[in-house]
Amino acid sequence: MNKADLQTLNDVAWAEVTHAYGPAVDAPDMLRQLMEGGDDLEEATEFLFGALTHQGTLYSATLPVLRFCVRVLDQLSADATEQVVAWIQFVGSLTRTSPEAPYAAELRAEAISVVEALLALDAKKGGEYYTRALGAWRCDAENGLSDRVRTRLQECPVDGGTLAALGTWGGDLSTYLTSDDLGVRAAAAFHDRSNAGTAALIEVLGDPDIEEVWLEIEPEGRLDDVADELLTRDLGAIPEADRAQLESLAVLYASTNFMPWEHFLQLIDTGHGNGVLNVDETRRFLHAVVDNDFLWQTPYAAAALEKAGLPGDREKLRGMVGGMQDRPLREPGAASAPTQKSLD
């Protein structure tokens, strides 16, 4: 244990920074316990997650604690290192997904120091969240940092989390698009924006295990993030076979409880949609929405439909969908005009 590093704890005015339970005057003792490990490690770990990132919230004390953890990362016991790397990953993920949150910008400014500390650490000692931590702290830097991170990630065992981190740092994942492992395939598809990557992304989104697998890849991620990524692609230009899979995916999500079906409203050929789905495809998708009793148990479905320029009333939507059978079909792949269509 480096006494000089412990001495730096006295350089912080802990009474002037706060965590979830008030002034962080207990931080020095908790961080000393972290360095000592042993029986006190569990309490110190609970302090990191419970006081400094309580329920995904960042605090003024999070920054000095992060700096200390980065400084002493290579001095911790194996068990403590794994816990601290997991916490560092969590902080990085919070700052990446909520960049406008209080203290997020100040924490994000530490990215280069965090990444350098992770690179100086033996990847095996970093544990399960090591590669995910590197991905969570992606930053722009000179001096070949990106190349060094990609090299390190390529040296690690291949899994979805490692590939997601590699993709975040600009690595080529195209060779993994046809992997038998769903997590590997999902991570590759999420970061590969080619037509092949888009086809793979449509396919993995239709897998019944994708939600659980995605949480293993991105511990703070949501299936909505994957659906959002799909909708940033040029879906009007995909081959006809992939278009058929896209329609099937939209209908599947509208027919299944707790799936992000509302994202596909952007693709319909009515309301505010962009017409990627033609009239017949739109009708089948909206028919599934109308028929899913679960969706109508809360006001959420109505709000999502109205936002998309559609009736929020179930029976009115049912009538509109029935009337769509008489509308002519567009040519496959032809985009409709980006104007709102009458719902009368």
The whole-angstrom separation of Cα 256 and Cα 294 is 9
Burial level of 124, CB count in 10 A (0-12/13-18/19+)? exposed
118, two tokens: 């992770």
What integer pLDDT is reported at residue 86 of this predicted model?
A: 97
Let me know: does 283 contact 321? Beta carbons within 8 Å: yes
Amino acid at 190: F
pLDDT(216) > 60: yes
With 0-12 / 13-18 / 19 or more C-beta atoms within 10 angstroms meaning exposed / middle / buried, residue 341 is: middle
pLDDT at 340: 32
CA R_g for the chain = 24
Q: 19 has which bridge partners?
A: 22
- Give me the pLDDT at residue 8, please: 87
Q: How confident is the model at residue 327 (pLDDT cuts 50, 70, 90)?
A: low
Quote the pTM value. Answer: 0.87
- The answer to whether residue 51 scores a pLDDT higher than 80 is yes
Higher-pLDDT residue of 129 and 341 is 129
pLDDT of residue 37 exceeding 90, the answer is no
Rounded CA-CA distance 282/277 in Å is 6
Q: Which of 32-41, 61-70, 314-323 has the lowest mean pLDDT?
A: 32-41
